[in-house]
Structure formats: C-alpha cells, structure tokens
Chains A and B, each alone.
Chain A
C-alpha cells in the first residue's frame, strides 16, 4: 500500500465547552474519492478546518501527504485546494482579476483548463464577483481549485444550496476536469449530506455522527452488504424476529427488513415460509446512511 494522502488519528476538537469532534479516525489513500457523510453539525466542517490548519486540534494527529499541516503549512497548502460551502471573494474584483489573484499564489496554473471551464460555466470575465449568484461563486471557486491541478481536492458541502443544473455540472467537472490527471495524484475528500448525487463518484466513505466515527466502508461493499428485503404472506407471519436484521417492520401480511450482511440467510428463511412475493434490493449509500443513523 502506498502512503495515505490523509491520515487522521484520534482527532478531537471542542468549541469552548461543546465537543464537535471526538476521537475521529480517517485514512484516505491516493487516487480515492472519499466521502465524509454526516448530518448538519456532525463535525464535518470542523474536521475539514483541522485538515487546513484553520483550527488547532485539542488532541490527536493529522498528516497530509505524510506531513504535519501545522508544521509544514506552506508545502501542504501548495499541494491541495479547498472549496468551502460558502464562497467569498473580493466583490470589487472582476472574475478575471479574481482568478489572476488566486493564480498568483500558485506555482502551477493550467490555462487550458481555465479557458475550458470559463466557457463551460458561461462565466463573464469582466463581471464583478459581487454580482455573481451563489452558483456562479461556487463555479469560480471550483475553477480556482482545479486549475492548479492539486494532488488533493477538499470539498466541504460543495453543492448545498445550488440548483440541480449547477450541481450536475459541478460533479461532472470534478469527474472530467479534475480526475483527468495521473490517477494517483488526484485524491478527493468530499463532505456532504446530499449523498445521492455523489453516489457514483465516491468509492469509500465514513459516516460521522456527533463527532464520532459510526461506519467506514467501500461503496460497492456497502451496497453488497446492506439489503432491503420485502415479503408478503397469505397470513400475517408467525415469526417476527430475524437474526441479522438491523430493522424489521411488520405491517399485517407484509414484512420489510433491512439486513446488514445477513441478507442471504434471511431470504432463505423467508422462502421457507412460502411467501406470496419476495424481493430484495441493495441500499443506496443514502439509505445506508439513514439506516445506520437510525439504528444507533
């Protein structure tokens, strides 16, 4: 295994007395697209800010590219880019001036990608950023994050509050323009609660709740393991407990079970009870998220 791009061990952070992150662990390998899922206030943004050295952890350690972001701030920041959920620019600058200003901090800036994305997003270079919509501000921020071709892209709730067209374009741009480079040098950490739109992009994820790790899994593995099983019987079933079910809902003759790994055994058992109908499907990542947080 190659050295992880992000390594968080036992991270804790508190705002005055309220603890936002508690003993959090997370490891992201090069080339992965990693999802950090959690409800509002789960500690996602605090974690991102600790990665960026904007907040000092109370305890635990963080390594980015094998370096301590507090001690090697310039090097670490030169190798990553960050798109926050609320983007602010100097409102008196035009789009062109803003991009030139942001490019001035970077050793490398891909002009072709810049041109391509300006026209793709239909941005007007002479427009003042003060007059941009929320969607356009996010587009400028994404553009500025991709042009330096960083090894790591940190996206914090990047699509919340955007319209569906802009969201779509955002994700297509991350796939197309950002992932186009050398695969081992294109790592993404995205925090979101809008899980379904990132479903295809994410290959591994961690669910956090109240600042703690709840579940870490590969996406394909999660969809293979979590199943929703539905059965309907002629009579209300006599059996109401199923080993391996994380949730069982019985409504008259109908049974709905959420299984975590025990799906095949539960299906076998239900088949033995001669159901009228029996179906099973995988849970999407969003459904895994809901099922996990409801059962804790």
Chain B
C-alpha cells in the first residue's frame, strides 16, 4: 500500500495515516478482508515512530474501519459503520460545513461548489471501478 506523508500539511502524522487508509478503503484500493501491513514494517518504511502507526491503527479500530485478529494482524472490515445513522450524518455535516466555509472564503459560488462535489464523487467512483477491474484481473 502506498502512503504518502507530508510534514508540511500541518496535520498530525497519525491522522494522515488514518485518513489515507480510509481513502484507500473508500476507493477500493484496499478491499474488505484484506490485511493491512503490520505496524513494524510500515513504521520502518515510512520512517516514523512506531507509536505513531500504532496510534493510527488504534484510531481506525475505534472508528470500526479495521479489526485486529489476535496473532493474525489487522484487516479492513466490511463497510458497516457501527455508528447510528444520525451520528454518521452529524459527523459528515461537520466536514461539509468546513468545506462550505472554505468555499465562501475562496469565493466559490454554491452552484460551482455543488458541481465540484459531483465531480469528486464521480472521481472516487472511477477509482473504485478501476480498483475492481484490477481485482478482477488478478483472480
């Protein structure tokens, strides 16, 4: 799996790992039931503190994205969030609000903003399709 850390993003390093694994899961690059790299080799490869990767995995586990099977490692869980629907909506609303505020400051009007959202959703779908095709070819 390809993770790219950026120390200039201002985002805590463990959160970058969390967000990129979530993105890989959403786009299908990482399929449910697939194993995640173990903490030690991933930390060595990224050259980050082992505790940073451990913290990221703990966070992913508490969000219900991955599960740890004793003696086997960490795996991506099937996509069923343990959170109730309203909680999920609320979490997403907060993120959307941030994007809306940003759009306001960048003087991106509502219509253009919505168009952009549609484009990004399509881009994600496209990546998902590509990942599925690749998966199909491998079988």
Contact = CB atoms under 8 A, between A and B. Distances in A.
Given A220-B12, A271-B105, A175 B48 contact: yes
A171 interface: yes
Given A200-B13, A223-B7, A227-B10, A171 B47 contact: yes
A223 B7 CA distance: 7
Given A176-B40, A176-B44, A200-B13, A183 B8 contact: no
A169 to B, nearest CB: 10
B103 to A, nearest CB: 13
Nearest to A183: B51
Contacts of A171: 47
Contact of B43 (A176, A219, A271, A283): A176
A202 interface: yes
B10 A179 contact: no
A179 B7 contact: no
Contacts of B40: 175-176, 180
A175 B47 CA distance: 7
Interface string B1-26: 00001011110110000000000000
Interface residues on A, range: 20 to 34
Given A179-B51, A203-B51, A203-B52, A282 B9 contact: yes
Interface string A189-205: 00000000101111100
B49 A175 contact: yes
Interface residues of B, number: 20
Given A175-B44, A224-B12, A199 B52 contact: no
Interface string B42-68: 011011111110100000000000000
Contact of B13 (A175, A183, A220, A271): A220
Contact of B47 (A200, A220, A282, A285): A200
A281 interface: yes
Interface string A202-217: 1100000000000000
Nearest to B14: A220
B41, B47, B105 — most chain A CB neighbours (10 Å): B47
A93 B51 CA distance: 38
B10 A223 contact: yes
B7 A172 contact: no
Contacts of B46: 200
Contacts of A183: 50-51, 54
A198 to B, nearest CB: 9
A208 to B, nearest CB: 22
Given A172-B44, A180-B40, A281 B51 contact: no
Contact of A200 (B8, B10, B48, B54): B48
A220 B14 CA distance: 9
A203 B7 contact: no
Contacts of A284: 7-8
A31 interface: yes
A33 interface: yes
B47 to A, nearest CB: 5
A289 to B, nearest CB: 13
Given A179-B43, A281-B9, 10 more contacts: A31-B51, A33-B51, A172-B44, A179-B50, A179-B51, A180-B40, A201-B49, A220-B12, A224-B12, A281-B10
5 contacts: A31-B51, A175-B50, A203-B52, A282-B7, A282-B10
Interface of A: 31, 33, 168, 171-172, 175-176, 179-180, 183, 197, 199-203, 219-220, 223-224, 227, 271, 281-285
